Structures are given as structure tokens and as C-alpha cells.
Amino acid sequence: QVQLVESGGGLVQAGGSLRLSCAASGLTFSRYAMGWFRQVPGKEREFVAALNWGSSTHYADSVKGRFIISRDNAKNTVYLQMNSLKPEDTAVYYCAARMSTYRTLAGLYDYWGQGTQVTVSS
């Protein structure tokens, strides 16, 4: 059974930082592209960042230069370091996994976590 569990969300002031973690189990972690998406009420789930198993990284324009995605294969964990946070970053953040190269469409991912809330105050 595949399971993805996010953690690390919380409330921060604008300009602050958070580090999200996604612990994966039940899959060959190193063979999957791992992604982060976010969603606010009434909106579609939005691509944030992804890391292929070959270590290439990809970011949405809205977070490029502020967020960093990384992976620790030994711990079966992917991270999202979020710096210089803005109020518009407020959302539920979801970890996702896909066997193959990354995609920016949420519907093309195979597995999802339950999400962790990130709230950025102004």
C-alpha cells in the first residue's frame, strides 16, 4: 500500500520560511518523480515544484527563486523549503508521486498525500 504523509505546515508571517516534508512508503521511492501541489478553496490544484528521480528540479514561475525541492532517498522523503513566503502562498500543500518524469497537471500523478496547511499572514 502506497502512502504519502506530509508534515511541516503552519502559520508564518510574510517573508518567513517553512520546510515541508513528505514521507513515502510502499513504493520504490527513487524511481518516482515527486511533486508538490497546492490548492485553495474554489480553485484547481496548482503545480508548485517537482523533482525527477534523475534529480532535475522544476518550479512554477510563482515560486521560482523562493522554494527549493529536494529528496533524501535513504529516508524516502521529499522536502519543500519555502522561503520569502507571501500571503498568496497560503494553501493546502500536497505531496504527489508519479512513476515517470514530472508533470505539471495534478491528474497525471499516481499517489497523493492528505495535505498540510500553510498560512502566511501579512
Q: Per-residue pLDDT tens for 44-57? A: 999 999 999 877 99
Amino acid symbol at 29: F
Q: What angle do CA 12, 13, 16 make, to 5 degrees?
A: 80
Identify the pLDDT of residue 20: 98
Transcribe 63-105 into DSSP letters. TTTTEEEEEEGGGTEEEEEE-S--GGG-EEEEEEEESSS--S-
User: How many Cβ atoms from other residues are within 10 Å of residue 67's Cβ?
Assistant: 23
**13-39 pLDDT, tens per residue?**
999 999 999 999 998 877 899 999 999
Identify the pLDDT of residue 14: 98
Q: Which three cell numbers stand for residue 93?
A: 500543500
Q: Which three cell numbers stand for residue 13?
A: 508571517
Q: Which residues pair with 117 in a beta bridge?
A: 92
